[in-house]
Amino acid sequence: MKFFAPVLPRRVLELLEIPRGDQALAAAQARDGRWLIGTRGRLFVVATSVRDLGWDQIEDASWNGESGVLSIRLLAPYGEPTETISFELDDSARLLQLIRERITASIIVQRRGEVSPGSGFRVLARRNPVSGPLVWMTVFDEGLDPESPQVKAAVEEALQVAKHELGQ
């Protein structure tokens, strides 16, 4: 997919510090005035300050076409609530396409583990698509106790299988 650098307002450019070698690939302005700027390695949210999110920090994103709302759910350490950031957007097709592509590119491996029918977890290895270390994480289904010996054993087995697949 080929993206062309968007034209951004001067005030946004003055706040934005895109790392050397990277560039804005898609952008959209939310109805509340915030800007979302996507690069190969990051998603920037610009208002009066800048929030810098690596693609590997974003668990997922969803788009409601009827309301024009983009919701971005961030990864959180186990036991902490996940944060969801929402934006009302009008012209967002390029940005949505980039978000989908970059989140997918950050997932190196993803495996589902079951502890009981309908109850399980996901083991993921993620890396920022531009650079950075491989980070392993486990996302548990709601209600699953990660301290349970049965759950711990299932996670360890799934993690070893996933690492073996990557040659680790």
Q: Per-domain residue ranges for the chain? A: 10-104, 107-165
* pLDDT attached to residue 77: 76
Question: Which amino acid is present at 85?
Answer: I
Summarised one tens digit per residue, pLDDT across range 117-155 is 989 999 999 998 888 889 898 988 888 899 999 999 999
| Architecture of the domain delimited by 10-104 | Roll (2.30)
DSSP symbols for 68-114: TEEEEEEP--TTSPPPEEEEEBSS-HHHHHHHHHHHHHHEEEEEEEE
Of the listed ranges 4-13, 16-25, 135-144, the least confidently predicted one is 4-13
